[in-house]
Amino acid sequence: MEEEEEAIGFLDKVLEDEDVFLLEECELGTPTSPSSGSPFLVTVKVEAGKGLEMRKLVLSGFLASEEIYINQLEALLLPMKPLKATATTSQPVLTIQQIETIFYKIQDIYEIHKEFYDNLCPKVQQWDSQVTMGHLFQKLASQLGVYKAFVDNYKVALETAEKCSQSNNQFQKISEELKVKGPKDSRDSHTSVTMEALLYKPIDRVTRSTLVLHDLLKHTPVDHPDYPLLQDALRISQNFLSSINEDIDPRRTAVTTPKGETRQLVKDGFLVEVSEGSRKLRHVFLFTDVLLCAKLKKTSAGKHQQYDCKWYIPLADLVFPSPEESEASPQVHPFPDHELEDMKMKISALKSEIQKEKANKGQSRAIERLKKKMFENEFLLLLNSPTIPFRIHNRNGKSYLFLLSSDYERSEWREAIQKLQKKDLQAFVLSSVELQVLTGSCFKLRTVHNIPVTSNKDDDESPGLYGFLHVIVHSAKGFKQSANLYCTLEVDSFGYFVSKAKTRVFRDTTEPKWDEEFEIELEGSQSLRILCYEKCYDKTKVNKDNNEIVDKIMGKGQIQLDPQTVETKNWHTDVIEMNGIKVEFSMKFTSRDMSLKRTPSKKQSGVFGVKISVVTKRERSKVPYIVRQCVEEVEKRGIEEVGIYRISGVATDIQALKAVFDANNKDILLMLSDMDINAIAGTLKLYFRELPEPLLTDRLYPAFMEGIALSDPAAKENCMMHLLRSLPDPNLITFLFLLEHLKRVAEKEPVNKMSLHNLATVFGPTLLRPSEVESKAHLTSAADIWSHDVMAQVQVLLYYLQHPPISFAELKRNTLYFSTDV
C-alpha cells in the first residue's frame, strides 16, 4: 500500500489563494480579509467557550480531497476511450475484454462521486446551523455495492494491467504516466501518476470516507436531523470495510494433516534466527501440527510476494532441550547499548531527512536512497537488539536457535507449542508438493503482515507515554509450594519489549513480600508486563547459548498503560493474575513537567509573567528580546549539546538570568556568553512556562484539542492552519520563530539526541497548557490538572514541527494548507 501511495508522489505544498481548489463556483464562508477570495475557504470565528464549527471544517477538508479524487478517476478514465477505439482496428493496443477488466466499474464510481460532490458543494457554500447533508452520505454509503464489485475484480485488474504492460510497449508508456489535473493556474498543472497507483485509490477512498463520517458524527448534536442518517452511513461503511478485509485476508484452512484433520494457523510472527553464526530475520508459522520457518522471497516489482521454507519440524518431533542437553553453540555477542542507541538516532535523522525532501519536492531518486538507507538501519536495529535465546530441537536431527527481545514472548511461543503437543500428534514427512502447498498458504494466512521495524507504526496510532513510571511490586500469592521467587518488569520501547527492572529474590516462601519501588523511563510505552520467576541456583542448569542459569517462569501478565489511570497524583494499586498467581503492585506516572503551573499575573514590569503583547509593544519588537537572545545563544554554541532542552540547567543560574532579563541589565549579553548553555535553554523554557496564559492561548485551547483529534488528514490540516491564523500577531510570530529554531535543533539529532518528538515532549505542554483558571474549567474528571491532556499537547506541537515551513505572510493572506494526498 505504501509503495502505491509513494508512486503518486507527495503533493503537499503551499497553495496560493486562488489555486486552492479547481471548482471556483463553490466558495465557502467569507474570507477573513476583503482582498482574498479563496474558493472553499472556511472563515473560522472562534469565540471564548464556543470553539470551532468543526462540522464545517471537516466538510471543507473532505470536499478538497473529494475533488482531487474525482480528478484522479478522470485521469484513469481518460485513456479508456481511445483504447476502446483502437480495439476494433487491425492494430489494437488492448482487446475489449482486457479494457473492461482493467477499467471495471471506474466509470460508475466516477459518476457516483461527481453527483455526491455537486450536491454537497452548494450546501457547504450556503452553510448555516440548519443545513442538512446526512442524506447525501447515506446515499453514498448505499452505493458501496459498486465498490464491492470493484474490489472483487481489483486483483484481476492489476494482473491484467501488468501483463499488458509487459507485452505492449505502447500501453506500458500510457500506464506509467497518467496525468492528474492539479489546481488551476498553479505551476504544476498536472501530476504524473501510474495506473497501478490510481487503481488503488477507490479502495483507499472508502477508508477516508469512513474517517470523515466518524468525525462528522462526533461533532453533530444527537438531536440534529443529520445524526441518525450519518450513524446509518457509518454503520454501512464499517460493515463494508470489514467485508473487504475478510476478502483481502481470508482465514482459510491451508491443507489437511496426516490424520485428515484441517491444518490451521495458530500463531505467526517475525523472529531473529542464528544461522551459520549470523542473525537472519525469519517469519515463523505455528500450525496445529507443524512449526515452519520461512523467509520472504525477493521478487521483482509488481510480482506477488511468496515465502521460501527454510525448515520445518512436525510438532510430534519438536522438543525443547534442557540446559544440560543443549550443545554449546558459537557465541553470538550482543551489540553494545551505545551502538543500539546510535542506530535509533540514525533512523530518526533519516526520517527527518525524508520528510524534508518530500516537503521540498526533492527528487524521487534522492528520497528512495534515503528510504533504502533508513530501512537498512532499521534492519540492523531489529537484528541486533534481541539477546534472549530460544532453542528448539528436532528429535530426529538438527536444533535451531532464535534470539528474542522479551522473555514474555519466548514464554508465549513455548506455551503455544506445548499446548498443541498435548493432542495426539503423529510424526510425518512432507512431500515436496505438500511442502510447496503449505508454504504457499503462508502468505494469505499470516496474521503479522509487517516486518517489525519502527517505521511501520502508523502516525495516527497512540504515541504512548513519555516520562517516568513509578512501580511498587508489593507481593504475590497463590504458589502451591515454597520457592525462591522474584519478578521482572518489561515495557515496550521502539517497537519491541525490553526488561527494565528486577526485584530481589524472596527465598523459600509461598507469599513473597517485596515492596520494592522502581522508576522506569517510558519512551512511547503503552504496556507493562510483569513476569514471576522461581530462581534456580543449580549451576549445572546453565543455558549454553548465553551462559546464564535458566530460571523457571511461574506466571506472566500484561496491562495497558491507560493515561487516565496512571497520570494521577495518587498511587494506583492493581493486581495481575497469572496461572493462579496474583501479583499486587502500585504505579503512578510522572512527566518531567508535571509540577509546572501557569498562574495569572497582573505584573507589567519586566518580562517574566507579563503578557507577550505587552512585552513586544514595550520593546517595539515582533519577538520578545529574551526569546531572540536565548535562541541565538543556543544556536551559536548549544545546538550540538547532548540533551539540549531536556537536561535541566542549574536552578540558581536560571534564576540569575531571569533577574537580569527582568531588570533589562546592560550586562545581559556578557552574562549569556559566560553562562552554561543548559541554563540558557532552561531560562527560555521558564519564560514560556511563566507566561500568564499559554503562547497558543487559553481561548483556542479546546479547538487545538479537537483539531488534533480529527481523523481525516485534510480536515485536520484545514483546522490546524485556521487555528494558527486565529492567534494574536505577537503570539503567532513568536511561535513560528520558535518552531523554526526547534526544527534546526532537531536537524542535529544524531549529535544532540533531540528528535522532533523529544522537543515536542519538552515544549508541547509549555506552549499549550492552559492557565490555572482555564485548566480547572476544562477538567472533566478528577485527573491531575497539570498532566491532563499532556500527550495531546505534545501531538499538537509535533504536528507543526513535522509540517513544511509555515509563513506568517502566507497565513495572513488566508492561504490554506492541507494534504492533497487522498
Convert the pLDDT of each residue in 77-113 to its tens digit.
998 888 888 888 888 888 999 999 999 999 999 999 9
Would you say residue 20 has pLDDT above 50? no
Q: Mean pLDDT of all residues in the chain?
A: 78
Q: Which residues contact residue 261 at a Cβ distance below 8 angstroms, ignoring those fewer than 6 apart?
A: 288
Q: Do the domains 254-330+387-454 and 465-595 sit in the same CATH topology, yes or no?
A: no
Q: Which of 29, 8, 48 is nearest to 777 (CA)?
A: 48
pLDDT band of 187, cuts 50, 70, 90: low
pLDDT at 342: 65
More confident residue, 329 or 526: 526
Mean pLDDT to the nearest integer, 679-706? 92
- Please give the Cα distance from 469 to 313 (Å, whole number): 42
In the predicted model, is pLDDT for residue 741 greater than 90? yes
Do residues 370 and 353 lie in contact, with contact meaning Cβ atoms separated by under 8 Å? yes
pLDDT classification of 700: cutoffs 50, 70, 90: very high
**Residue 531 to residues 473, 491, 515, Cα–Cα distance (Å):** 11, 12, 16
Architecture in CATH of 46-248? Up-down Bundle (1.20)
Judged against a pLDDT cut of 70, whether residue 303 lies above it is answered with no
Task: Out of 30-44, 116-130, 405-419, 550-564, give the one with best mean pLDDT.
Answer: 405-419
Q: Which of 67-76, 568-577, 624-633 has the highest mean pLDDT?
A: 624-633
Confidence bin at 372 (pLDDT 50/70/90):
confident
Residues 657 and 687 sit within 8 Å (Cβ to Cβ):
no
The mean pLDDT value for 649-671 works out to: 82
Would you tell me which CATH number, out of the four given (3.30.460.80, 2.60.40.150, 3.40.800.10, 3.40.50.620), belongs to the domain 465-595?
2.60.40.150
Arithmetic mean of pLDDT, 619-647 = 91
DSSP designation for 334: P
Residue range 254-330+387-454 in CATH 2.30.29.30: yes
% of the chain exceeding 70 in pLDDT: 76
Lowest mean pLDDT among 272-276, 315-319, 362-366: 362-366
Is residue 532 a contact partner of residue 578, using CB atoms and an 8 Å limit?
yes
Domain locations in the chain? 46-248, 254-330+387-454, 465-595, 601-814
Would the pLDDT of 178 be above 60?
A: yes
Is residue 193 within 8 Å of residue 75, measured between CB atoms? yes
| Percentage of the chain lying above the pLDDT 90 cut | 27
| pLDDT score recorded for residue 218 | 84
Name which of 69-83, 254-268, 600-614, 757-771 the model is least confident about.
Answer: 254-268
Q: Which range in 332-346, 599-613, 800-814 is most confidently predicted, on average pLDDT?
A: 800-814
Residue 89: partners with Cβ closer than 8 Å, 6 or more residues away: none
Please tell me whether residue 156 adopts helix, strand or coil conformation.
Answer: helix
As assigned by CATH, the class of the 601-814 domain is mainly alpha
pLDDT of residue 263: 79
pLDDT at position 501: 77
Q: Is 682 helix (H, G, I), strand (E, B) or coil?
A: helix
Name the pTM for this structure: 0.48
Residue type, 587: M
Instruction: List the one residue out of 213, 236, 239, 237 whose CA is nearest residue 226.
Output: 213
**Cα–Cα nearest to 24, from 1, 41, 45, 49:** 41
pLDDT digits (tens, 9 = 90+) for 191-208: 888 888 888 888 778 877
